[in-house]
Amino acid sequence: MQKTHQYRLQTEWTGNLGKGTANYSAYDRSYKIAVNQKVVIEGSSDPAFRGDRTKYNPEELLLASLSSCHMLWYLHLCAEAKITVLAYTDDATASMIETNEGGGAFSEAHLHPSVIIAEEDMIKMAIALHKKANELCFIANSVNFKVHHHPTCSVKQG
């Protein structure tokens, strides 16, 4: 049986410098994302589009969504398979193509999960579960660009 999950947030532009959007350079690209009873996320556009490099941009948040969704599915699958994950990091990257008209789209993302597990005899299965995590990842299933996976797995030493 299918389930429908609903999500809600509020995005508020905080970049009115007093003149609104009177011209392209009259306003800041800053905004806040709020979800009830959670820490507010401060965002801005990418610095290439006059954004604040100290704040998260939408492109980074999309990549973070892909990376974290994959990780959470992966940890779930490892727990089901009795693989003890001790550490997980991902150095994710993505490419976006900007068109001459100013629009654009992501062309691909690369996830580089590095996993440390407890048992050496589980490494092969631990690496294989990344494929299944990708198949189940809600975000990966929602994007129209290729998500590549380059996992590494090792055993805790000592």
For the chain, how many residues are written?
158
Whether residue 109 lies inside any domain: the answer is yes
- Under the banding of pLDDT at 50, 70 and 90, the label for residue 157 is confident
- Residues 117 and 134 occupy one common structural domain: yes
Residue 93 domain boundaries: 58-155
Which strand (E) or helix (H) includes residue 109?
A: strand 104-111
Q: Mark whether 108 and 148 lie in a shared domain.
A: yes
| Residues 139, 69 share a domain | yes
Identify whether 137 is part of a domain.
yes
Q: How confident is the model at residue 156 (pLDDT cuts 50, 70, 90)?
A: confident
The verdict on 70 and 127 lying in the same domain is yes
Number of domains comprising the chain: 2
Whether residues 31 and 102 share a domain: the answer is no
Residues 6+ apart with CB under 8 A from 75: 85, 88
H helix intervals, the chain = 58-80, 123-136
Query: CATH code at 111?
Result: 3.30.300.20
pLDDT of 158 above 80: no
Residues 66, 28 within the same domain: no
Q: What is the reported pTM?
A: 0.93
pLDDT above 70 as % of the chain: 99
Predicted confidence band of residue 128 (pLDDT cuts 50, 70, 90): very high
pLDDT at 80: 98
Note whether residue 2 is domain-resident.
Answer: no
**Domain annotation covers residue 3:** no
pLDDT score for 92: 98
Local structure of 90: helix, strand or coil: strand
Tell me, yes or no, whether 115 lies in a domain. yes
Q: What is the tens place of the pLDDT at every residue in 25-82?
A: 999 999 999 999 999 999 999 999 999 999 999 999 999 999 999 999 999 999 999 9
Is 4 inside a domain boundary? Answer: no
